[in-house]
Amino acid sequence: MEQATQSAPSQAPVKGIQITDKAISKVRLAMEKEGVSIEQGGLRLGVQGGGCSGLSYNIRFDTQPRERDRVFQFGGVRVFVDPKSFIYLHGMVLDYQETLMQQGFVFVNPNSTKSCGCGTSFSA
């Protein structure tokens, strides 16, 4: 299992993926609310074709990792990423932002060359 720190991202290049403390807190709350076991389950991050810009982020809970998944650990929360998605998500930071206009998870992805206003679609 790949280990990662749970501190906010720095200016250094990110290896793998990172999740900010605020995002970890929100994931933990959502897992409790949904009844997902922190010991066995985790957050699945992925990329799929479609969306305004060609690719869309996919975020959901999963009961366990798949055979070829990369598994990251952040503050007791496991994150699963399949090999194809990892190509697009390598170096990404998952954050959680709350503003007057919106609240939710934000993908800060250095591999994204173009994104649309919805924040869930990009091209690489």
Note whether residue 60 is domain-resident.
yes
For residue 71, what are the domain limits?
15-112
Q: Residue 34 belongs to what H/E stretch?
A: helix 21-34
Note whether residue 49 is domain-resident.
yes
Q: How far is CA 34 from the centre of its chain?
A: 18
Note whether residue 75 is domain-resident.
yes
Note whether residue 1 is domain-resident.
no
Note whether residue 5 is domain-resident.
no
Note whether residue 123 is domain-resident.
no
pLDDT in tens, 67-101: 999 999 999 999 999 999 999 899 999 999 998 88
State the pLDDT at residue 66: 94
Q: Say if residues 13 and 91 touch (Cβ distance below 8 Å).
A: yes
Residue with the bigger pLDDT between 83 and 110: it is 83
Residue 73 is part of a domain; what is its CATH number? 2.60.300.12
State the pLDDT at residue 67: 95
Note whether residue 28 is domain-resident.
yes
Mean pLDDT of the chain: 81
Structure pTM? 0.77
| Mean pLDDT, residues 112-120 | 55
Note whether residue 7 is domain-resident.
no
How many residues in total does the chain contain? 124
Q: How far is CA 87 from the centre of its chain?
A: 13
Domain count along the chain: 1
| Mean pLDDT, residues 19-36 | 94
